[in-house]
Amino acid sequence: MNNYMRLEIPAKSTNEAFARMAVGAFVSQTDPTIEELSDIKTAVSEGVTNAIIHGYENMSGVVSIVCRIDEDMLEIVITDFGVGIENIEKAREPLYTSKPDEERSGMGFTVMETFMDDLLVESKLSEGTKITMRKRLKSR
């Protein structure tokens, strides 16, 4: 199967649930297992939350989500045009958070890495952040 979808949403926390459900609905056409589907929805939730909290620091902005299915490979790209990440390596460390006062767990990237097969983080200060996640769907 070859298919894609593109979604653009304002950076509002109410859209976190919408984004993961929309991606879940799109991926459902590949007949994934329940675990694959929940892994994907969790990773999307983390990516979109990062864009809202960190990319836009809870200010207004647009989050773009592009999903591609190419045979058994799923690719999800989440992009924001916010502040960018100063030190990607540090941001990816488990338990590291740039916002320790806000009870963030610092687990976002770790969850994305664990629940997907691979994770690429590209970022430029004052331009934004693009994360690309891939997962091979075993059920197909």
Residues labelled as active-site residues = 46, 50, 104
Contact by Cβ (8 Å): 33, 139: yes
Exactly one of 30, 38, 98, 132 binds another protein (CB under 8 A); that residue is 38
Write down the least CB distance from residue 2 to another protein, Å. Answer: 28
E strand or H helix that includes residue 99: none
Tokens found for residue 106: 């610092």
User: Residue 9's beta-bridge partner residues?
Assistant: 63
Query: Where in 42-101 is the site for another protein (CB under 8 A)?
Result: 42, 45-46, 49, 52-53
Does 34 sit near another protein (CB under 8 A)? yes
Q: Closest separation between CB of residue 33 and another protein, Å?
A: 12
Binders of another protein: how many residues, by CB under 8 A? 26
Q: What is the SS3 assignment for 16-36?
A: HHHHHHHHHHHHHHHCCCHHH
Beta bridge partners of 119: 133
CA dihedral angle for residue 47, residue 55, residue 53, residue 69, rounded to 10 degrees: -20
State the minimum distance, in angstroms, from the CB of residue 45 to another protein: 4
Which residues contribute to the site for another protein (CB under 8 A)? 13-14, 16-17, 20, 34-35, 38-39, 41-42, 45-46, 49, 52-53, 102-108, 110-111, 114
